[in-house]
Structure 1
Amino acid sequence: MTVSNAEIAAVLEEIADILELEAANPFRIRAYRNAARTLQAFAPDIASLLASGKALPKLPGIGEDLAGKIGEIASTGSCALLQRLRGEVPTGLRELLKVSGLGPRRVGRLWHELGIQTPAELHRAARSGQIRQLHGFGEGSEEKLLQSVELLLHTPQRWLLARVAPIAERLLTDLREVPGVIEVATAGSLRRCRDTVGDLDILVSARRGSPVIQRLTGDAQVASVLAAGTTRASVRLHSGLQVDLRLLSPQSWGAGLLYLTGSKAHNIALRRMAQERGLKISEYGLYRGKQRIAGDSEASIYQALGLPWIAPELREARGEIEAAQAGSLPHLVELGDLRGDLHAHTRASDGRNSLEEMALAAQAAGLEYLAITDHSRHLAITHGLDADGLARQIDEIDALNERLSGITLLKGIEVDILEDGSLDLPDSILARLDLVVGAVHSAFTLTKEQQTRRLLRALEHPHFSILAHPSGRLLGERPPINCDFSALIAAARERGCALELNAQPERLDLDDLHCREARDQGVPIAISSDAHSTLEFAGLRFGIGQARRGWLEARDVLNTRPLGAVRRLLKP
């Protein structure tokens, strides 16, 4: 089995983390992080390309040295540099990096100055008041770290959806090639497109004697075999992800897929419906007494219960069964419904490609229009645009649009919403744009009243179009801001603004519940890639998964509309 791009990227990220722990050259650290991000977004399977004798394609920011390490990782799952670096730092430091609010630099300081090497040691130090003694931490930081490390110590590890998806796709591709295999599929929270995944569930239907269990347990990426029998196996990969495989008979395929996809609450509701009809449902089928009456497909079970098939993303016991009974299930949005992308960056701020390169990549992804929304200057780390720089970019986009065919660039900006709710650029330049995407990038800890007032004022701005990543969350790293989102959604409806569903894997923001609330209030959602390179438009699929969990149809999504309609809606 080959090493997936996501697994290669994870190795590069770990190298960058350890280098930062050791206070290595920041340019070297950045090179590994950029390479990891590039590989996450790169669609072709690198290991397969290299195994077939082809050279690694030219990728931005990846020179000869990095290309060599990528080749080493692709063939072995690791590299000599990582093994050496792991030996230079305590193992527990990698666990400390999972604590929200701690990056490699701060973990390095805790290690060097207080000797803290594990989450448990951090917990003891925070409770005893040692953390606040360090310069740059303080009592408030200590309290937040105490809360974060307690959460980590008592919460099972979860993985970003986009991290697990390519691993699952690679495993499914390989398992399909095993002799005797009839069908393979993922189940669990991955199939329901939850933003994070606890472990990876794989189901296989195969003929008797198929060596599918042996194929999984013998995979080079398996660090340990937790269990292995005739119909199931559990393994832990070197990345730490647990993979559980179930072998099902063809006649039980649908029942097993339904049962193991979940959610638990959805399954309980179906079980109750079955009992009311004198039936019994299990992972093996739907039975009347000892007679199996359905189970070879999911649809057969739903039909026997008087329901249409329900999409996995909806199976959370949030009214989907009632909607199915009433014939009012939503016709969920699909990736092919998107006609444009309303949030992307170029090298004018923190992106890695030119205007034209981003335009052509968006066109290759099947899009008809792309909004260029580089950062404004307030966010210093992005080297954003001031009014003069934005004016020059406006002229560049106009000139480029005259040459482009089949794709149109929209003139935009991702402007910072300042703490008082004002925007980081003057009205005179914002008025020249097709859209203004506003975002919070600072002051995340304001009170609920302050944060709500801040965002409501921003939405009142006459040129405001879309609120980007509205909650500001970073999954596993930063919680959502404290805000009255119902008031925010109501204000967006009143003003005619849209809310963004940011498809970046660590964001997936809005969450599914707020997506549904916005839909119910008639507020359009923009599903945007927030692409920082030509490779990241592929991430739109994760935004679609989140949108489907939020019951969104194509009509609820702003950028499923043709360009003319979008232009009109973007100017509230």
Structure 2
Amino acid sequence: MRHLRLRHPSADRRQLRPDLATGRAMSVSNAEIAAVLEEIADILELEEANPFRIRAYRNAARTLQAFAPDIAGLLASGQALPKLPGIGEDLAGKIGEIASTGSCAILQRLRGEVPAGLRELLKVSTLGPRRVARLWHELGIQTPAELQQAARAGRIRQLHGFGEQTEERLLQAVELLLHTPQRWLLNRVAPIAERLVAELGKVPGVIEVATAGSFRRCRDTVGDLDILVSARRGSPAIQRLTGDTEVGRVLAAGTTRASVLLHSGLQVDLRLLAPPSWGAGLLYLTGSKAHNIALRRMAQGRGLKISEYGVYRGKQRIAGDSEEAMYQALGLPWIAPELREGRGEIEAALAGTLPTLVELGDLRGDLHAHTRASDGRNTLEEMATAAQSAGLEYLAITDHSHRLAITHGLDADGLARQIEQIDALNEQLVGITLLKGIEVDILEDGSLDLPDAILGRLDLVVGAVHSAFNLAKEQQTRRLLRAMEHRHFSILAHPSGRLLGERPPINCDFTALIAAARQRGCALELNAQAERLDLDDLHCREARDAGVPIAISSDAHRTLDFAGLRFGIGQARRGWLEAKDVLNTRPLAELRRWLKR
């Protein structure tokens, strides 16, 4: 995971659509097709269209998200769209249109039928299309600012089914949206970045393409997407970006840079670099600001000048074509992008103590996954097969316990039946082993949601908070410490309970939790779901320094979710974690010994 450049996949796996700048072709992923269908469904629901029509689009989007073969690639090779559940001739035609153009006529028409602000309202947490439609039709609310005004005036509670508490929650949510710069989850940005990097790499004259900025540093959220291109003079890379069908507005376009706003709202900034300055520009535009300032001071101390064009001694450029050469000119080894935050990485580089960061290929297993037995979408066997395809040797099945009613979790009898099912399936599986586990609710008093008799039959117990997030710090800390003292407790899942952009972390003494985990012999989870990435990077590093193992877990609820492990790896690398710090890099036999301690 050196430069984390997003290399484009082979063209034979992607649907091709005309490139406006070069006459070449551009690709559309299954996720992008599904996103178009979801947006159509959202707008139809805003318009209070036929519910069956809305449901058809949503079901089609879910089907495509779970469909492993690349649909666009199949169509590009001349094959027909496979028969898929709930997708008839009309929807199949629209999917083909999206695959070939990146959009479809009905979406363009629907976008013109509703106020643009309604799509912004959909970003308010707890507001879905149905409620947005009611706010629009019954109160004339079309923007987040109008929602804020109406909530402050007490107008929302007047609507049937809303009430005073709902109004207060909406006011808090909309104020959070209005006062927080828009940040994008990594799983939203990654497919866009991969597609654009792939397509820009095909433009004539382009030599290299890479992402930069906070996305390359694997920050948990991204404000915008920075893409760098090294190209020969005259390459139409700028025109290729500004002509993309997903561009809603061109903010700026010159000879060496461009900024565009996509229909999704994400801003993409492109910089065109001359090959001799590729490494300098990549280093400078990756950041962070604190890291760059530290490098500039080092350069000044050596009588050098460093910029986005290279390292100079006087007027002579002595480095610039690669990041390695840039660092070497300052007497440093290459520093991984995830470490470039001004948190001691330069001192560690000088001392020769930079960590050998964990990589995705180091993971042997996954210790948190769900099936249809609770709120997952796939069977035990399907999840096992998918985990094995993801390169894993073991998978812990940790369905929810029954206290969290919305997940339809397992009681003791249901868990006992699942234990028998896993034992029977393990006798048939080859190359992967299922571990018996549970994601058990930690109750408000710190007790666990299931009795010891059943917990003692499991390989591991993953404890999690799903309620009472607003307890005072002392009470919340005491709650978690008591749970971790339970003799069957193995791993504390998504410890802070945060949902990025929606719910803040619980108020808890994490230093005390980390100390207790070390004393008790528990692990802490780094939940790889893009909306969680919990533990955060700072607490990962604190746990590492304390000798507490971290489990990087997908929290998979469907077979495709194992792909999200890469986001957890990015967070772990930001937390300075090495393979030896991660619990599920251990071989199964060693993991079993740890679990039985």
| TM-score w.r.t. length of structure 1 | 0.93
Question: SS of 1:370's equivalent?
Answer: strand
Is the 1:279–1:287 Cα contact (8 Å) retained in structure 2? yes
User: How far 1:449 moved relative to its partner?
Assistant: 2.5
Is the 2:257–2:271 Cα contact (8 Å) retained in structure 1? yes
Identity %: 88
Question: SS of 2:282's equivalent?
Answer: helix
2:188 maps to 1:163: yes
User: How far 1:81 moved relative to its partner?
Assistant: 4.8
- What CA distance in whole angstroms lies between the structure 1 residues aligned with 2:369 and 2:247? 37
Deviations 1:103-141 (A, max 9, x none): 444434433443322111122123333345556656565
Question: SS of 1:442's equivalent?
Answer: coil
1:308 corresponds in structure 2 to 333
Inter-CA distance 249–238: structure 2 relative to 1 (3 Å threshold):
same
1:154 corresponds in structure 2 to 179
2:285 maps to 1:224: no
Matches within 5 A, 1:405-420: 405-420=430-445
Residue 273 of structure 1 is aligned with which of 295, 298, 302? 298
Q: Which amino acid aligns with 1:299?
A: E
2:479 corresponds in structure 1 to 454
Inter-CA distance 156–286: structure 2 relative to 1 (3 Å threshold):
same
Deviates most, 345-354 or 72-81: 72-81
Is the 2:528–2:553 Cα contact (8 Å) retained in structure 1? yes
User: How far 1:394 moved relative to its partner?
Assistant: 0.5
2:584 corresponds in structure 1 to 559
Deviations 1:237-273 (A, max 9, x none): 2222221111111110000000000011111111111
- What CA distance in whole angstroms lies between the structure 1 residues aligned with 2:33 and 2:106? 13
- What CA distance in whole angstroms lies between the structure 2 residues aligned with 1:517 and 1:133? 48
Q: Which amino acid aligns with 2:372?
A: R
- What CA distance in whole angstroms lies between the structure 2 residues aligned with 1:43 and 1:251? 41
Q: Which amino acid aligns with 1:427?
A: D
Inter-CA distance 24–489: structure 2 relative to 1 (3 Å threshold):
farther
2:386 maps to 1:361: yes
- What CA distance in whole angstroms lies between the structure 2 residues aligned with 1:166 and 1:382? 29
Deviates most, 240-249 or 29-38: 29-38
Matches within 5 A, 1:432-511: 432-511=457-536
2:10 corresponds in structure 1 to none
Matches within 5 A, 1:55-454: 55-56=80-81, 67-83=92-108, 85-86=110-111, 89-134=114-159, 141-454=166-479
User: How far 1:46 moved relative to its partner?
Assistant: 3.4
Is the 1:41–1:538 Cα contact (8 Å) retained in structure 2? no
Is the 1:199–1:243 Cα contact (8 Å) retained in structure 2? yes
Q: Which amino acid aligns with 1:154?
A: H
Question: SS of 1:349's equivalent?
Answer: coil
Deviates most, 275-284 or 254-263: 275-284
- What CA distance in whole angstroms lies between the structure 1 residues aligned with 2:495 and 2:59? 25
User: How far 1:224 moved relative to its partner?
Assistant: 2.2
Matches within 5 A, 1:523-562: 523-562=548-587
Deviates most, 237-246 or 80-89: 80-89
Deviations 1:528-557 (A, max 9, x none): 111112222111111111110111100010
User: How far 1:196 moved relative to its partner?
Assistant: 1.2
User: How far 1:217 moved relative to its partner?
Assistant: 1.9
User: How far 1:54 moved relative to its partner?
Assistant: 3.1
Q: Which amino acid aligns with 2:378?
A: N
Deviations 1:345-400 (A, max 9, x none): 11111222211111111111111101111111122222221111111111111011
Is the 2:173–2:502 Cα contact (8 Å) retained in structure 1? no
Inter-CA distance 86–424: structure 2 relative to 1 (3 Å threshold):
farther
Unaligned runs of 5+ in 2: 1-25
Question: SS of 2:317's equivalent?
Answer: strand
Q: Which amino acid aligns with 2:282?
A: L
Inter-CA distance 128–542: structure 2 relative to 1 (3 Å threshold):
same
User: How far 1:344 moved relative to its partner?
Assistant: 1.0
- What CA distance in whole angstroms lies between the structure 2 residues aligned with 1:38 and 1:267? 45
| TM-score w.r.t. length of structure 2 | 0.90
Deviates most, 292-301 or 434-443: 434-443
Deviations 1:197-239 (A, max 9, x none): 1111111111122222222222222222222222112222222
Question: SS of 1:331's equivalent?
Answer: coil
Is the 2:492–2:525 Cα contact (8 Å) retained in structure 1? yes
2:3 corresponds in structure 1 to none
Inter-CA distance 82–378: structure 2 relative to 1 (3 Å threshold):
farther
- What CA distance in whole angstroms lies between the structure 1 residues aligned with 2:568 and 2:56? 27
- What CA distance in whole angstroms lies between the structure 1 residues aligned with 2:492 and 2:85? 30
Q: Which amino acid aligns with 1:11?
A: V
Q: Which amino acid aligns with 1:567?
A: R
- What CA distance in whole angstroms lies between the structure 1 residues aligned with 2:433 and 2:330? 49
Deviates most, 469-478 or 101-110: 101-110
1:521 corresponds in structure 2 to 546
Inter-CA distance 434–479: structure 2 relative to 1 (3 Å threshold):
same
User: How far 1:19 moved relative to its partner?
Assistant: 5.1
Deviates most, 430-439 or 91-100: 91-100
Deviates most, 247-256 or 17-26: 17-26
2:594 maps to 1:569: yes
Is the 1:99–1:149 Cα contact (8 Å) retained in structure 2? yes
- What CA distance in whole angstroms lies between the structure 2 residues aligned with 1:447 and 1:22? 43
Deviates most, 121-130 or 17-26: 17-26
Deviates most, 340-349 or 30-39: 30-39
Inter-CA distance 453–285: structure 2 relative to 1 (3 Å threshold):
same
Q: How many residues align?
A: 572
Q: Which amino acid aligns with 1:516?
A: R
Is the 1:465–1:571 Cα contact (8 Å) retained in structure 2? no
Inter-CA distance 89–247: structure 2 relative to 1 (3 Å threshold):
closer
User: How far 1:413 moved relative to its partner?
Assistant: 1.0
Inter-CA distance 406–103: structure 2 relative to 1 (3 Å threshold):
same
Q: Which amino acid aligns with 2:79?
A: K
Question: SS of 2:517's equivalent?
Answer: helix
- What CA distance in whole angstroms lies between the structure 2 residues aligned with 1:61 and 1:490? 52
User: How far 1:472 moved relative to its partner?
Assistant: 1.6
- What CA distance in whole angstroms lies between the structure 2 residues aligned with 1:156 and 1:439? 30
Indicate the RMSD between aligned Cα atoms, in angstroms. 2.5
Question: SS of 1:246's equivalent?
Answer: strand
Deviations 1:128-183 (A, max 9, x none): 33345556656565455434323322333221111111111111111111221111
Is the 1:60–1:352 Cα contact (8 Å) retained in structure 2? no
Deviates most, 426-435 or 44-53: 44-53
User: How far 1:21 moved relative to its partner?
Assistant: 4.7
- What CA distance in whole angstroms lies between the structure 1 residues aligned with 2:526 and 2:60? 25
Inter-CA distance 410–510: structure 2 relative to 1 (3 Å threshold):
same
Question: SS of 1:371's equivalent?
Answer: strand
- What CA distance in whole angstroms lies between the structure 2 residues aligned with 1:267 and 1:113? 52
Q: Which amino acid aligns with 1:209?
A: G
Question: SS of 1:433's equivalent?
Answer: coil
Is the 1:223–1:237 Cα contact (8 Å) retained in structure 2? yes
- What CA distance in whole angstroms lies between the structure 1 residues aligned with 2:51 and 2:314? 67
Q: Which amino acid aligns with 1:489?
A: I
User: How far 1:64 moved relative to its partner?
Assistant: 6.5
